[in-house]
Structure 1
Amino acid sequence: MKDISPEEANRALNEQAEKVEQKDLEKVLAKEQKIEDKFRNNESMSGYLAKAKSMFGLIRDYWNGNYRQVPWKTIAAVAGALLYVLMPLDLIPDFIPLAGFLDDASVIAACLALVSDDLVDYEKWKLQQDHDITQSDKETLS
């Protein structure tokens, strides 16, 4: 059984991202638990769970209008990669033991490589927001 090449992963990611529309963000968010379960339950993907949660946070904050300092290309790539994980029949179908999830992991890895700077910026912003909320709570209690 062959592994998916980085080129194939990038091609799959780009194809999926090109199809992403605003309504797909809602679909990704609605399927968050199901997608996270795939990360959690598959050894080849479990290492990406924390990043997947950050990717969901990025989409959620973009969807809600809280964070717009990111290009649509990044949002489309993240949503496309997460939607790809949901597809049971992709480059290597998920029902094939072990190998079936390698393409999903490869697409996620390709996405993370593509959007890493934007995701780091978002994570910094999110930490600052959490810090500001904590400070506000402390001031309210004083």
Structure 2
Amino acid sequence: MISQILKSVFFKSAKGKAGRYAKNSTRLFELIKDSVSKLQKVGFKGNLSEFQTNVQLLIRMVRAYASGEYRGLPWRSLISIVAVLIYFVSPIDLIPDFLPFIGVTDDVALVVWLVKSLSNDVQKFGDWEKQAKTINIG
């Protein structure tokens, strides 16, 4: 399924927009807001809680980058994350979101694939987050 998503006109469009978004912190913050809104609207529960956790992680990574707090994210990884979030918030994609139950299948697959693909960057960000929290608490 991942190869179908990555080759789809929908993902190619998202990837084309990602560079413009990544260069503009205002657009990144709008994308974050849209992503949070979609997560709340869809209300992922049960087996999809890991998916929700992963999307929240991607949102935190983009927010930290956009605010200038975290610059350890490689440009290529940022573009990939932004493209996936653009795809996620779009109601019309490979499997349209208005289809009950199966509408988010492609979103789930894409997010899981991305988090695994960027595991080193995710780990570095997680370490940075823990260190930042320790500094703020201490």
Q: Shorter-chain TM-score category?
A: 0.7 to 0.9
Q: How many pairs align?
A: 131
Equivalent position of 1:25 in the other structure: 28
User: In the alignment, is residue 9 of structure 1 matched against residue 12 of structure 2?
Assistant: no
In structure 1, what residue type is equivalent to 2:7? R
The alpha-carbon deviation at position 40 of structure 1 amounts to 3.1
Return the offset for 1:57. Answer: 1.1
Task: Provide Cα deviations, 1:83-121, integer angstroms capped at 9, x if missing partner.
Answer: 211111100111112221101111112211221210111
Kindly name which structure, 1 or 2, has the bigger radius of gyration based on alpha carbons. Answer: 1
| Alpha-carbon spacing, 1:38–1:78, altered in 2? closer, same or farther (3 Å) | farther
Q: What TM-score does the superposition give when structure 1 sets the normalisation length? A: 0.79
Q: Secondary structure at the residue paired with 1:19?
A: helix
Change (3 A) 1:133 1:42: closer
Tell me by how many angstroms 1:72 deviates.
Answer: 1.2
Structure-2 change in CA distance of 1:70 and 1:32 (3 Å): same
Instruction: For structure 1, list consecutive stretches of 5 or more residues without a partner in the other structure.
Output: 136-142
Q: CA deviation at 1:38?
A: 4.9
Matched, 1:68 2:64: no
SS in 2 for 1:89: coil
Residue 25 of structure 1 aligns with an amino acid whose one-letter code is: L
Does 2:120 match 1:96? Answer: no
| Structure-2 separation of matches of 1:77 and 1:30 | 18
Runs of 4+ aligned structure 1 residues displaced above 4 Å come to none
Matched, 1:87 2:85: no
Q: Which sections of structure 2, spanning at least 5 residues, go unmatched?
A: none
Tell me the percent identity.
21
C-alpha distance in 1, partners of 2:73/2:137? 25
Could you say what the CA RMSD is over the residues aligned between the two structures, in angstroms?
A: 2.2
